Amino acid sequence: MPASRPITLCVALVGSQLLLSACSNQAATGYVTEKPRHYPTDSVATTAHRVGVLQNLYGPESVRYASDQDVYFISVMNGPGSEKDNNGYIVEVSGSNLGQAKLLVVGGKNGVTLDAPKGLAIHGDTLWTTDIDKLRAFNRYSGKPLGEIDLAPKGAVLLNDIAVGPNDTMYVTDTGIDMSQIGVIYVGGDKVFAIGPNRSISVVAHGNVLGRPNGVTWDPTGKRWVVVSFDPFHSEMYALHPNDSTRIILAKGKGKFDGIEPLPNGTFLVSSWADSSVHQLGKGEDIQVVRNVPTPADIGLDTKRGRLAIPTGGNRVEFWDLAGK
């Protein structure tokens, strides 16, 4: 797990390149541009290519794209993912200029409590994030804290991903792991929570059969909730039956599925730690869209440009154009 670091963002112009550099000797994020080109060694059966990298984020976990703002939100744990240290943060990055970024939410500042943010979801003007055993809400324009939902009384161990579906219902996964200084330890408690009207909380699925649920999304094509599992050897992508916790297996992998994004054709982009890749899964197909990205976490899809943002274990977020432009 990355050690926690102080955080400050400063923008500097070096030649024709925008860089985010350190201020006052504090660690910061840095953006390195790359000219669009094909990467034969980094893509299989696609023309996807990397167009940029945002560096020095010290534990980036999730990316969520807001099309109306044309920005990416990036959650950063800034330390072990289960440690309640109030130094996590959320960065906002311009979709049209990847070198333009700002700190939107910082733990310990402006009345914010934020320990180790992970999954992100947008609901109206609210940006939700999972934070160990709580959900925290912020205004997505100002970063102002708007409240929290405590799932600790419901047995939450490590809340991971969050997504919004029909009737404003939110689904939240609990992977049942401890992200400590010595690594990821499975302690059990696999669950999928539903947050309904008036912030009501219910458990819609639970038990080892869930395989350490990680990424979750609403599938607008199939009209169903889809989850990917973080089991280290036999990961699965499955749909949850709408009326009970029955699982419908949609695809299988070599282990440690993490993030998931639905595509308009009814397939899904899924990140996998087991082979350091992002796959396109569904309809009986498994296409390795991007590879050679270490421990790819909760991916975010820019629907305007067909661009994929991938948080990686190298304390960086890589941006890949999927259309090969």
Per DSSP, the residues of 176-197 read -EEEETTEEEE----EEEEE-G
Nearest-angstrom CA–CA distance, 292 and 97 = 25
CATH 2.170.260.10 corresponds to the domain 10-321:
no
| Tens of pLDDT, residues 77-110 | 998 888 999 999 999 999 999 989 999 999 999 9
The CA radius of gyration of the chain, in Å to the nearest whole number, is 18
pLDDT on residue 181: 81
The DSSP-derived string for 50-82 is: EEEEEE--SSEEEEEEETTTTEEEEEE--S-TT
**8 Å CB contact between 256 and 233:** no
Query: What are the residue ranges spanned by the domains of the chain?
Result: 10-321
The secondary structure of residue 212, as a DSSP letter, is S
Q: What's residue 180's pLDDT?
A: 79
pLDDT value, residue 99: 87
Residue type, 257: F
**pLDDT tens string 20-76:** 433 333 334 455 555 444 444 444 556 788 999 999 899 999 999 999 999 999 999
Task: Check residue 185 and give its pLDDT.
Answer: 82
Residue 45 CB burial class (10 angstroms; 0-12, 13-18, ≥19): exposed
Picking from 75, 73, 90, 178, the residue whose alpha carbon sits closest to that of residue 133 is 178
- Which stretches of the chain are DSSP H helices? none
Place of tokens 């992508």: 237
Residue pair 135/129 in contact (Cβ under 8 Å)? The answer is: yes
Locus of tokens 């939107």: 104
How many angstroms separate the CA atoms of 268 and 238, rounded?
A: 11
The CA angle 194-109-32, to the nearest 5 degrees, is 85
- For residue 39, give the DSSP letter: -
Nearest to 115 by CA among 79, 160, 61: 79
Provide the pLDDT for residue 29.
Answer: 46
What sign has the CA pseudo-torsion 314, 113, 85, 136?
negative
Q: What is the pLDDT of residue 241?
A: 79
What's the pLDDT at 231?
95
Helices H, strands E: what count in the chain? Answer: 0, 29
How would you classify residue 242: left for phi > 0, otherwise alpha for psi between -120 and 50, otherwise beta?
Answer: alpha
Max CA pair span of the chain: 58
pLDDT of residue 23: 37
Any idea how long the chain is?
325
Average pLDDT per run of 10 along the chain, which is 325 residues long? 49 34 38 47 64 92 98 95 94 94 96 98 98 98 98 96 95 92 85 94 94 97 96 95 80 96 96 96 92 95 96 93 75
Partners of 179 in the β-ladder: 184
HSE, CB side, 13 Å, CA atoms: give it for residue 141: 4
What are the φ and ψ backbone dihedral angles of 52, each rounded to 5 degrees?
A: 180, 165
